[in-house]
Amino acid sequence: MVKLDFYDPSGGIEVTQPHAPRLDKLAGKRIGIVTNEQWQAFRTLPLLKKLFEQDFPGIEMLPIDAFPQGNALIGEEDTAKLIKKSGVDAVIVGNAA
């Protein structure tokens, strides 16, 4: 007889660190993009940047290559320091894969 073990995939539900506060508006804000270069990021992120610039007057979207790219670099402390030093109001992190 075969024995099957089942595990609960839901994981932990306790919130230990809240998300960053959300901006009240995007118009007039300075926004950075950090990419892990996954799943067609070379197509989706430039389009996202273009759409934000069209839809939100006065928004400043930094170039996609303004910060280090790729999974090996985006989680580094040096990348976080560069983002903080840049003075952005928010950062879009993508693409999920």
Question: Would you state the structure tokens that stand for residue 60, as one six-digit string?
Answer: 């400043």
- Residue 58's domain comprises 30-94
In a domain, 39, yes or no: yes
Which amino acid, residue 41? A
Among the listed residues 66, 47, 44, 52, the one whose alpha carbon sits nearest the alpha carbon of residue 23:
52
Query: What's the CA gap between 96 and 30, in Å, rounded?
Result: 22
In a domain, 18, yes or no: no
In a domain, 3, yes or no: no
pLDDT tens digits, one per residue of 12-63: 778 888 888 889 998 899 999 888 777 777 888 899 899 999 999 899 999 9
Could you give the C-alpha distances from 8 to 1, 5, 12, 14, in angstroms and in order? 23, 10, 10, 15
Strands in 90-94's sheet, in edge-to-edge order, are 60-61, 30-35, 90-94
In a domain, 15, yes or no: no
pTM higher than 0.95, yes or no? no
In a domain, 16, yes or no: no
In a domain, 51, yes or no: yes
How many structural domains compose the chain?
1
In a domain, 10, yes or no: no
